[in-house]
Amino acid sequence: MPDENLESLFKSWLIEHEGAVLKVARAYTLTTEDCQDLAQEILLQVWRSLPQFQGRAGATTWFYRVALNTALGWHRKEHRRRARQQPILAVEDLSVAGLDSSQEIVQREAVERLYAAIRQLPRTDAALVLLYLDDLSYRQMAEVLGISESNVGVKLNRAKKALGELMREESHGS
């Protein structure tokens, strides 16, 4: 594929999947700065991997696979590097149209608790929850994670229960 076609495809996929990149990056990081760094790393990996895209998987599936694999590798590398640091949890600015400031604060706190709980899940469960939150089908989730659709259902139910427990613990602890 010529470079100008790759660039055009990359730009269109960037527009289509920008939210997915941010969700994945946010789930695997603790600070806004790290989130931005990981999002850039994901986009770089998508660009580098684009010439190998053969169309056997759907664009969304392929994009998520690259994003999650990049996030998992980045997380392992960063975890070793920051083993002794205790970053402060930072939540990016989430302005929600139509909400007054008190409702926006409540919404922001709920999102912060959700992402904090997701970060406590095992990495594959966190990835599965992110794919679910982005409304991917079981088939697409199976393709991204390389597991069967029935296994997606089982793992997703377990992850939802674990996430629910973590959210309950969080609400009782605060």
Contact of 140 with 60, CB cutoff 8 Å: yes
Distance CA 158, CA 114 (A): 16
**C-alpha count within 13 angstroms, C-beta hemisphere, residue 120:** 16
Task: For the chain, give the mean pLDDT.
Answer: 80
126: its two tokens:
């966190």
Q: What is the mean pLDDT of residues 3-20?
A: 85
Give the phi and the psi of residue 135 in degrees, each rounded to 5: 60, 35
pLDDT digits (tens, 9 = 90+) for 13-66: 888 888 888 888 888 887 788 888 899 999 999 999 988 888 888 888 888 889
- Residues of the chain with pLDDT > 70: what percent? 83
- Counting Cα atoms < 13 Å in the Cβ hemisphere of 141 gives 24
Name the DSSP class of 136: -
Closest CA to 26 of 143, 117, 104, 135: 117
**Is the pLDDT assigned to residue 94 strictly greater than 80?**
no
CA distance 146 to 61: 10
**Threshold 0.75, pTM exceeds:** no
pLDDT at 84 > cutoff 50: no
Amino acid at 44: L
Measured distance CA(81)–CA(87) in Å, rounded? 12
